[in-house]
A and B are shown apart, each in its own frame.
Chain A
Amino acid sequence: MIEMQSVSKWYGDFKVLTDCTTQVDKGEVVVVCGPSGSGKSTLIKCVNGLEPVQEGRIVVDGAEVTARGAKLTQLRAKIGMVFQHFELYPHMSVRENLCLAQEKVLGRSRKEAESRAETLLTRVGMIDHIAKYPGQLSGGQQQRVAIARALAMDPIAMLFDEPTSALDPEMIKEVLDVMVELARDDGMTMMVVTHEMGFARKVADRVVFMDQGAIVEDRPTQEFFDAPSSERAKDFLSKILHH
């Protein structure tokens, strides 16, 4: 479904990604973790071409993202993305947030779009807030709406870029619950950048560990937690698990 081959990326002279190779198969959940500044967020933004790469290939559902003249808008419409800071449109109600791209990109009628929006908002437990504006919602509620907004496009895969790191601790669970359900019940293909190791243990098939722009480990979840092979991963896990 998602394939990355030897992807490298620079910001000016600074190399942010070094020779990254990994893949996410259909129905698989892959968690990407690592210390901050390790390039996780950049890596996931390359998958749908939000960030251009200078070297390597990225293929999503048979289409090459990194090809010259790639039809990025069509490709992005098929991949949902959830951001650290939610990025709901503040000047639109929850309903409008969910309908905009359905109407403008998928060409759905207002009625179809609204009914899809209602179904998904019910699912994430936000239907009662459909007429509200993002500013009236808590962080956790905004993130659930953002997930519904991405799902409204009926994506074939979902990218999560640190979906819980901007949330107050008591709101993390409500967002993770939605994500766990998505992985378990829908068998959604997911690539998740997160520090939530509990989530990783629960639903991830594989864990990709990054450090300084390179993929250091890419292994089945159980193996990664039981016996990380690199010192850096061991160090990272000891810091993140024992507190």
Chain B
Amino acid sequence: MGDFDFAVIVNNLPFLWQGLQLSLLLTFLAVLGGIALGTLLALARLSGIKPLALAAAAYVNLIRSVPLILVIFWFYFLVPLAVGRPIGGFYSALIAFVMFEAAYYSEIMRAGIQSVKKGQVYAGQATGLGYWQIQRYIVLPQAFRNMIPILVTQGIILFQDTSLVFVVSLRDLMTVSSIVARTEGRLVEMYLFAALVYFVICFAGSLFVRRLQVRMAT
């Protein structure tokens, strides 16, 4: 145990910081995109238009039955074929995360939308507001607010999942830590460090969620 050398972390801090930035950026964009697409999927499922609802349900169930790593691979190889040129690991990973997370966010938003009383929709309709206006101004703000703790929790899971982007050779925190670990021969230190960073961020996130829940309960 005497030969731990934590100087390796300090020496590689800028490199590690870049990795963390990529992880955070990917998480942030994927959460935004996932919630946006997930909300549309939820609206489609609840629309009462059969083909639309079925298509959305099929998408959500398909994605939720497939491992994330496979989806990342798919998009890494499929998107360039569809677009006609390579778009790089970052964008293909981002698209994969958005498409994947949207399935989970859609279930959350669906529950959120259903938590808004039917009377609220009636009230909007009775004043002559149209479907999209009712969703935009009345239903979604309430649905979103009711679901904030769960949306944040899903974001924390997403942050952990970004470590999978090593398969498309993106340099996120996990990948960068591995690179340092191998090149410097300091596996234990680096993996301990990476674990600590993930733990601190995720734990802070769950504390935040708990505080939100307490505040919302009062």
Contact = CB atoms under 8 A, between A and B. Distances in A.
B160 interface: no
Contact of A153 (B123, B128, B138, B145): B128
Given A90-B142, A91-B142, A91-B145, A104 B126 contact: no
A150 interface: yes
Interface residues of A, number: 28
Nearest to B116: A90
Contact of B137 (A80, A104, A150): A104
Interface string A78-103: 11110101011111000000001100
Contacts of A78: 128
A105 B119 contact: no
A83 B68 CA distance: 46
Contacts of B133: 104-105
B129 interface: yes
A104 B129 contact: yes
A149 interface: yes
A156 to B, nearest CB: 12
A194 to B, nearest CB: 18
* B117, B124, B127, most chain A CB atoms within 10 A: B127
Contacts of B21: none
A238 interface: no
Interface residues of B, number: 18
B61 interface: no
Interface in B68-121: 117, 119-120
Contacts of A48: 125-126
B127 A50 contact: no
Contacts of B185: none
A75 B122 CA distance: 14
A73 B128 CA distance: 4
Contacts of A79: 126
B128 to A, nearest CB: 3
B51 interface: no
B126 A89 contact: no
A89 B119 contact: no
The 6 closest A-B pairs by CB, nearest first: A77-B128, A101-B127, A87-B123, A81-B126, A105-B128, A87-B119
Interface of A: 45, 48, 50, 72-81, 83, 85, 87-91, 100-101, 104-105, 149-150, 153, 159
